[in-house]
A and B are shown apart, each in its own frame.
Chain A
Amino acid sequence: MQTKKIINDGNRAVDEMLEGILAAHPRHLKSVDGSPRSIIARDGPRQGKVGLVIGGGSGHEPSFLGFVGKGLADAAAIGNVFASPPPDPILECAKAVSSGAGVLFMYGNYAGDVMNFDMAAEMAAMDDIEVRTVLSTDDVASAPRDQRHKRRGVAGNFFIFKAAGAACDRMLSFDECERIAGKANDHTFTMGVALSPCSLPQTRRPNFEIEPDEMEIGMGIHGEPGIAREKLKTADEITDEMLDRILGEMAPARGDKVAVLVNSLGSTPLMELYIMNRRVKQRLDEIGVSIHASWVGNYCTSLEMAGASITLHRLDGELQTMLDHPCDCAMFRAG
């Protein structure tokens, strides 16, 4: 049986969504002429500023293009559902935001994204645009700790892009922007849990099978299998299981400061996210870690998947400055 979706044509879903987004956010976003999958900030790129290009597959809205705007990313290259954009729209983004200070490519660590963004970087080099790449690898569940470089990038992109965008907006040097982006990634840890699958607009079939009473800890944002399938537990138990893994790696000291993101994978409602967030606060209070800021809602979704992720972003003075730096994007504002 096919899943129910409000679409016209599965093959047109991404482009029709983009038309709707541009119609809703004309003050923030526009597409590059002749390259409709390259979305740039109206008020972002400027002379002497390092350009920040983010991107990835569709289906994660408001990631990625919701984070395009002044103070955050200058452009986003948009792929098909759950598929990296090809090199051309990425290259067009790089050209549109390049002002000679260098262009930073930032995206989640997936084989397809790496190949396409690397090809775009090679093409940009031929146009005398220097590109450097910082991959996000915040998904604790996706590889062992000693292989952090192999991990996927998931909802923690939110904090990682935020820090890099602030560094770029503060007109820091290319070296500094790259360093801060990498540091933000090192300080960011995410764990997810999935309860029910999503379905792609083209197939309208569930992308994995799971029993009505089961959950999968560590599942990826494209439905990639996680680390354990278990019976569904209570919100506190689930949150504890996720936090234990995050805190085990982050190893915060009493008095440390973090920012928190409790993110829905699509159909899990705010009520459940806030119940989880309540537990996050209790646990962090217990170990004397203070919460500088929290975001609860849809930030990196997986179409209509049910489930959630928790991200902790460990702050020092520098990362706190970057987090507090104002930004004004189509789907996110801060400061």
Chain B
Amino acid sequence: MTIDTARLVAMFAAIANAMSADRDRLCALDGVIGDADHGIAMELGFSAARDAVAALDTAAADPTALLNTAAKSFLNAVGASSGPLYATALMRGAAAVKGKTTLDDAETVALFQAMAKGIQDRGKAEPGEKTMIDAWAPAAQAAGEALASGKGLAASLEAAAQAAKAGAEATKAMIATKGRASRLGERSLGHMDPGAASAVTVIEAMRVALTS
């Protein structure tokens, strides 16, 4: 499977659609342990990214330029926590595929893994702290393992999506130590982290858009 810039443009449209559909659920999740705006920020950010990359000349822009454009537009539309986290993810993804005009399976998985690393570096969160990294880190690991065992992009991203889902589910049993919910202590127990929940939606939309 070869991923070109047109496919990446379609990917951002798919993520933006998924975020619009998921917005109210994410706000409700955030309302339980945070400030109820997570769905708004994610919809706003990916809509801005979608519009910015749609305006590019896909024949002239390479994946790196496209991802950097998406990063900047996401950041400037949102701010908040998700702005720097997803903007860093996309910029790291851009750096990981520098010089490529199209991406093969390994390069696409490398892009995906760089995104997860970017979120972790910017947010300084470790797995187990009830953040979006509890979905992104296992997803990146699962994608890498699937690829290393000889699987293609579709199976690798399928493994990533499953791992993200399990990771988000596991945040219910965690006590938040990072971000706004950390002030709650044990009261955060039993609730899924909204950042992990939205990560599942992002990753699933990426999987469908990149492999269908």
Could you say which of B44, B80, B123, B178 has the most chain A C-beta atoms within 10 Å of its C-beta?
Answer: B80
B31 touches A208 (CB 8 A): yes
Give B31-44 as 1s and 0s: 1 = Cβ < 8 Å from A's Cβ atoms.
11111110111001
Report if A225-B80 is in contact (Cβ < 8 Å); known contacts: A111-B180, A208-B36.
Answer: no
Docked complex Cα distance between A322 and B57 (Å): 55
Report if A82-B35 is in contact (Cβ < 8 Å); known contacts: A142-B183, A222-B180.
Answer: yes
Give A3-31 as 1s and 0s: 1 = Cβ < 8 Å from B's Cβ atoms.
00000000100000000000000000000
Q: Tally A-B pairs: CB < 8 A.
A: 107
B35 touches A85 (CB 8 A): no
CB-CB under 8 A from A203, the residues of chain B are: 24, 27, 36, 39-40
Is A110 in contact with chain B by the CB < 8 A criterion? Answer: yes
Q: Give the interface size bracket for B toward A.
A: 20 to 34
Could you say which of B37, B81, B181 has the most chain A C-beta atoms within 10 Å of its C-beta?
Answer: B37
| CB-CB contacts below 8 Å: A207-251 with B | 207-208, 220, 222-225
Docked complex Cα distance between A83 and B182 (Å): 17
Is B83 in contact with chain A by the CB < 8 A criterion? Answer: yes
Partner among A81, A200, A225 whose Cβ is within 8 Å of the Cβ of B33? A225
Report if A207-B80 is in contact (Cβ < 8 Å); known contacts: A150-B182, A200-B36.
Answer: no
Is B75 in contact with chain A by the CB < 8 A criterion? Answer: yes
Is B76 in contact with chain A by the CB < 8 A criterion? Answer: yes
Is B98 in contact with chain A by the CB < 8 A criterion? Answer: no
Q: Output the least CB separation between B43 and chain A (Å).
A: 9
Partner among A112, A119, A224 whose Cβ is within 8 Å of the Cβ of B183? A224
B37 touches A81 (CB 8 A): yes
- For residue B125, which residue of chain A has the nearest CB? A111
Report if A85-B79 is in contact (Cβ < 8 Å); known contacts: A111-B123, A115-B85.
Answer: yes
- For residue B80, which residue of chain A has the nearest CB? A83
| CB-CB contacts below 8 Å: B30-85 with A | 31-37, 39-41, 44, 75-85
B122 touches A115 (CB 8 A): yes
A220 touches B183 (CB 8 A): yes
CB-CB under 8 A from B183, the residues of chain A are: 142-143, 150-152, 220, 224-225
Report if A225-B81 is in contact (Cβ < 8 Å); known contacts: A111-B179, A115-B122, A220-B35.
Answer: no
Docked complex Cα distance between A82 and B123 (Å): 19
Q: Output the least CB separation between A164 and chain B (Å).
A: 22
Is A69 in contact with chain B by the CB < 8 A criterion? Answer: no
A80 touches B36 (CB 8 A): no
Q: List 16 A-B contacts (CB under 8 A).
A: A57-B79, A80-B40, A80-B78, A81-B40, A82-B36, A86-B75, A86-B83, A87-B75, A116-B83, A142-B183, A200-B40, A202-B40, A222-B180, A225-B183, A225-B184, A225-B187
Q: Which residues in A have some Cβ–Cβ distance to B below 8 Å?
A: 11, 57, 79-88, 110-112, 115-116, 119, 142-143, 150-152, 200, 202-203, 205, 207-208, 220, 222-225
